[in-house]
Amino acid sequence: MEIDKDGKKENSIRSRHISKLHERVQTKYCEMQKKLEKAKSADLLACVKDDHNTKLAPLNANLLQEDKSHNFMATQKTVKLDDARGNDSTSREIVYEEATISGRNIVPIVNLTINDDNNIQNSENAFLFDMSFKGSLESLAEVKDDALSDDSIEPSSPAPKSIRSRIRLRIREARKRREEKEKNDKNKRRNSYSNVEKLILSNTTKKDVTTRVTKKTKIATVTVALIEVAGFNVLEVEKPRYIGCRIRLGSEKRKSKMIKTNDPKVMFQELHNFNLYEDEHILEIVVWDKDVKVGRHTIDLSRIEKEKTKKVQVPLDDSEIRIFYLLTISGISDINTLYNMYENEGGEAKNLRRKYKWYRLCDTADVGWLNVIVYGAKGLTGNDCYCILSFNNERVFTATDNKTNAPSWMKVFHFQVTDITSILEITVYDEKKGEEVGNISIPLLNIEPGKKWYALKESTQRERARGNNPRILLEMEVSWNLIKASLKVLTPKEVNVMESEEKLDRHLLARNIARGRVVMMWVVDAFQIIKSCFEWQSRKANIISLICWLLFCYFFKTWMLPLLLLLPFFIYRPRANGKKQLTKEEENFQKEKEEKSLRQRIQDFQETIQTIQNFVGKVASLGESIKNLYNFSVPFVSFLAIVLISIIACIMFLIPLQYILMVWGIHKFTRKILKPNRVPHSEILDLLSRVPDDITLINCQEIPLEEISDDNEF
């Protein structure tokens, strides 16, 4: 009887509410989704699914939404159904577990758990439990109100919770889940990185790890000026060599250019800069002939003097071939700075001045001493600049002052002067861009003691460098011996080993042609001045010139001949406004250069080329005529020249030279008066003009005739 009653109750529940269950679930689901989107919450409704074993998980209804005028009460019930088909007995048991809130209407929540041993063949029963759906808590509560009306429920009084607090709780829980997920992802990535590091460290040695972890500290800059490699054997077979050098310092490597040559000496003239780090003091140079190793040379840099350029000329290991290069270790920030100069050089300056007194002549090669203090620069275009000082074949650096266009180097340099006429070249480089910012050239004889700002010039040293009035602050002092410097001037000048021959360049050609033209015009003008003295263009000047000439010839002695070379010094003596005049001439030249158009420049260049072409042709023709005069190309003129030279020799034997020069001067000065229409000429050049040059002789050669059968026929 109890089983029949339970069956009737269950059928009544299905019959009343199974048709409306689906619609209520869908409508309530849509309402809750809209409210949850406004609250930016995650899914707050659970899903209920029916598996193949017909086990229905409890439905979790977490949120209730009713009108503000209604009160809420939650009741949870568990319904357990056990069904058996066939002849087996079927037992169904419904257990209710209720939780009430006192003083409020009861809204029951029913969780159904059905255990069935056989397949359920009823379509109505299968519809309820086979469909996966999302149900609302309110719809299930209404089912309980209609099916059950039990007044014997004992109320309980838990703390009430509003919908807003529950939504906040769910949002907080969703945030915690998201944070936990991110934390897990980070842990996974960290674990993967640690695994990779373990793999890398397992394949490396202890030495590699220390070299990678330890940060290298730059000590200085090493400059290797590779000059030449000499001592190669002369090959009988004309097979060229391909000579090159490889230079290595620590982990840095450099290669020189490959030179194709058969000569026993190979000139490189290349500069290579290296960074010197701690525990890297072995410099290695290997000479290669294409792929064949010729020789090797190593040097320990820890034994080399800092801030000095050393000339190294040594043979390669196990070879007769010698290598020549310049080595400089410079750019050290804590050596020879302005801050420790006074501590280390208390009386050194006085000793050096005493050493180069005029009467101390012990070492003629050591002429003097140069001290340069590089304070800093301003207005530069670069932000990572350093300064290079080049003096003869020495080349030293300052440290790089980073991230400023007004560097402060505060560096002190000392140079040994071997030639007082040398020039100090100072160049400012940008280390980051690898370009020249500005430079300046200062002759030693123009140096004045004390601080002075020098304007930096561009690479051509014709205009100011780019920037905001770029300038450099220097303090220089020179001490030198006058007698030793004078003796040094009479000896061969020291060759700049880094200076190479200029390659063909049209700009350089045009500049050299212009320079040659200026010199030639100066010589021509000098001859024109002398010539005007004999042409009576100015009677007063001609009479004075004639009197001076006669007096000079009468009182002339051999020792007076060098005094004639003093006249140009008197003419071109320095004047007070000489520098201003030179500056004005340069400004006028720049204005003329700017005013000329491109067409005028091309035309001037063509005229200059034409002038040089004709002048070179005339000089060559004159030289060939002199040669042909002596080799009897024209016998008549050659014999005539012999007779004239013999007559002149007899006259000079009989008459003193002074009187001969006086007669010759009177003749030159009076011939314009005696013959006003006379054309100026030179008798010697007239004689040489009668002798043909080589081109004329070749043109005058006869070509032999071919064989003719009848010579007498015409």
What residues are paired with 377 via a beta bridge?
A: 472
Nearest to residue 128, comparing CAs of 276, 252, 15? 15
What six digits make up the tokens of 64? 């209730």
- Look up residue 50 and give its two tokens: 């029916």
Task: Give residue-wise pLDDT tens across range 390-417.
Answer: 999 999 989 888 889 999 999 999 999 9
Beta strands in 231-381 (DSSP E): 241-249, 252-255, 259-261, 265-277, 282-289, 292-300, 309-315, 322-330, 368-378
Q: How does pLDDT run across 597-615, given as a tens digit for each residue?
A: 778 878 877 887 888 888 8
H or E stretch covering 92: strand 92-95
- C-alpha–C-alpha distance, residues 277 and 275, integer Å: 6
- Say which residues have a Cβ less than 8 Å from residue 304's Cβ, sequence separation at least 6: 310, 327, 329
Count other Cβ atoms within 10 Å, centred on residue 633: 19
pLDDT at 29: 75
Distances (CA, A) of 46 to 61, 64, 210: 7, 14, 58
The yes-or-no verdict on residue 50 having pLDDT over 80 is no
3-state helix, strand, coil in the chain (%, to 5): 40, 25, 35
Q: Are 106 and 100 in contact (CB under 8 A)?
A: yes
Taking residues 568-576, what's their average pLDDT?
79
CA distance 82 to 5: 15
Q: Which residues pair with 298 in a beta bridge?
A: 284
Residue 701 region by backbone torsions, left for phi larger than 0, else alpha for psi between -120 and 50, else beta: beta
CB-based burial label for 369 (10 Å; 0-12, 13-18, 19+): buried
CA 45, CA 37: separation in Å to the nearest integer?
Answer: 13
Backbone phi, then psi, for 568, in 5-degree steps? -60, -30
Cα angle 91, 97, 101 (rounded to 5 degrees) comes to 155
Total residues belonging to the chain: 714
Most confident of 117-121, 442-446, 543-547, 667-671: 442-446
Q: Are 28 and 139 in contact (CB under 8 A)?
A: yes
Output DSSP code: residue 447.
-
Q: What angle (nearest 5°) sits at the alpha carbon of residue 24, between those of residues 21 and 25?
A: 80
pLDDT digits 0-9 by tens, 270-308:
999 999 888 888 999 999 988 889 999 999 998 898 889
Percent of the chain with pLDDT over 90: 28
With a cut of 50, say whether residue 421 has pLDDT above it. Answer: yes
User: What domains, with CATH codes, occur in the chain?
Assistant: 2-160 (no CATH), 215-330 (2.60.40.150), 341-486 (2.60.40.150), 517-567+608-698 (no CATH)
Q: Is 110 within 8 Å of 142 (Cβ atoms)?
A: no
With a threshold of 0.75, does the pTM exceed it? no
- Asked if 281 contacts 300 with a C-beta cutoff of 8 angstroms, the reply is yes
Confidence (pLDDT) at 539: 80
Q: Is residue 558 over pLDDT 70?
A: yes
Under 8 Å between Cβ of 409 and 374: yes
Determine how many CB atoms are found less than 10 A away from the CB of residue 444.
21
- Weakest-pLDDT range from 77-81, 548-552, 578-582, 700-704: 77-81
Per DSSP, the three-state class of 512 is helix
Q: Which pLDDT value is given to residue 44?
A: 42
